[in-house]
Structure 1
Amino acid sequence: MTRVRIKTKPKRTFQMRVAGLGFRNGHVLVHRATHEKFWTFPGGGAEIGETSEETLKREMVEELGVHVTVDRLLWIVENFFRYEGRDWHELGIYYRMSVPDSFPFAPDGIVHRIRDGDNDLEFKWVEATASALKALDIPPYFIADEIENLPEAPRHLIWDDRNLDAKS
């Protein structure tokens, strides 16, 4: 299948990304590419012809090796950021998801590693608090402020952090 990503000149990219927030024991699952300083919520690029829920389920099988349950839609984010010298326009779709108990849990340290294309990914559980997420550096940054009180109904946001140093 073909990923929903368009690159243009000068150095601009559009993509559709679907991510899930999985919770356990007061923690939320996060991941990063090992060459990065920042973390993100697990997920990945949508492929043409699949729904956002299908994208999240596929990505979690590929990255975690488990079948997640996609619970409810939290946010649809028009996300603008600068990364690796490019301006990105991302349509981000964020769900609450249930990660099966068979996936490892530990409150400290890396619980899972995998090679994904050209990237080595590592996963860990972090306290699901605003202070823990802010200390971790996890864009889009508004989620840290809302992690302790997730929206009851889906929210649409426009988020622009192109001028923040964390993504330069």
Structure 2
Amino acid sequence: MMISYENHAGLFQFRAASIILNQNKILMQRAEVNDRWFIPGGRVEFGETAEQTIEREMLEEFGVQIVEKKLVWVLENYIEFPNKRIHEIGMYFVVKIQEGHPILRREGEFLGIEDGFVHRWVELDALDEIQIVPEFVVPELRSLDLTGGIKHVINRAVRNYSIT
């Protein structure tokens, strides 16, 4: 059971995500039904750690194992849509995957194992050319310090489109 709770006030969820960097590019994901890109991951299951979540998600979405991981951001994400409010806690890890895995050679947009998502490697210098959510991702990627500790990020966003 995913850690997600919805009531009259809105939706609460706990999410974990994998920042995968390769040759000055980052792996991004979007739902097939829209054009907003995000860092691959998913909701944490009850009784599962955030580390276990990213390991499970990478296997489910790409069939790849994580060989190294480092927690870099803890996110408090507050999003207001015209039809819904979301309060999300997120844990973002920089991860390394198996060397030589075919996903590292993919170009353009491509499908993974899990239905409903499109993926693509995006040059770090070209992050402004696509719409990335949550809004904190682009500036934080530009200042990412792998030698430092864990950064606490608070993101508040108002979006002018509805979600279901």
**Into which bin does the TM-score normalised by the smaller protein fall?**
0.7 to 0.9
Kept in 2: contact 1:31–1:41 (CA 8 A): yes
Kept in 2: contact 1:39–1:137 (CA 8 A): yes
Alpha-carbon shift at residue 55 of structure 1 (Å): 0.5
Instruction: List aligned pairs for 1:12-161, cutoff 5 A.
Output: 12-82=10-80, 85-100=83-98, 101-106=100-105, 108-116=107-115, 120-129=116-125, 132-151=126-145, 152-161=148-157
Alpha-carbon shift at residue 40 of structure 1 (Å): 0.6
Kept in 1: contact 2:20–2:94 (CA 8 A): yes
Note closer, same or farther for the CA distance 1:167–1:96 as it changes in structure 2 (3 Å cut).
farther
Note closer, same or farther for the CA distance 1:139–1:166 as it changes in structure 2 (3 Å cut).
farther
**1:131-168 alpha-carbon deviations (Å, 9 max, x no partner):** x222211112222112233132111121101x244777
Tell me the distance in 1 between the aligned counterparts of 2:65 and 2:120: 18
- Per the alignment, residue 2 of structure 2 pairs with 3
Tell me the distance in 2 between the aligned counterparts of 1:75 and 1:142: 11
Kept in 1: contact 2:72–2:151 (CA 8 A): yes
Q: Secondary structure at 2:129's aligned position in 1?
A: helix
Runs of 4+ with >4 A deviation: none
Kept in 2: contact 1:106–1:125 (CA 8 A): no
Tell me the distance in 2 between the aligned counterparts of 1:64 and 1:94: 18
Kept in 2: contact 1:78–1:159 (CA 8 A): yes
Tell me the distance in 2 between the aligned counterparts of 1:84 and 1:108: 36
The one-letter code matched in structure 2 to 1:121 is F
**RMSD over aligned Cα, in angstroms?**
2.0
Kept in 1: contact 2:76–2:88 (CA 8 A): yes
Tell me the number of residue pairs that the alignment of Structure 1 and Structure 2 aligns.
160
Unaligned regions of 5+ residues in structure 1, if any?
none
Note closer, same or farther for the CA distance 1:70–1:53 as it changes in structure 2 (3 Å cut).
farther
Tell me the distance in 2 between the aligned counterparts of 1:166 and 1:143: 20
Unaligned regions of 5+ residues in structure 2, if any?
none
Q: TM-score if structure 1 supplies the norm length?
A: 0.86
Segment drifting more, 48-57 vs 103-112 = 103-112
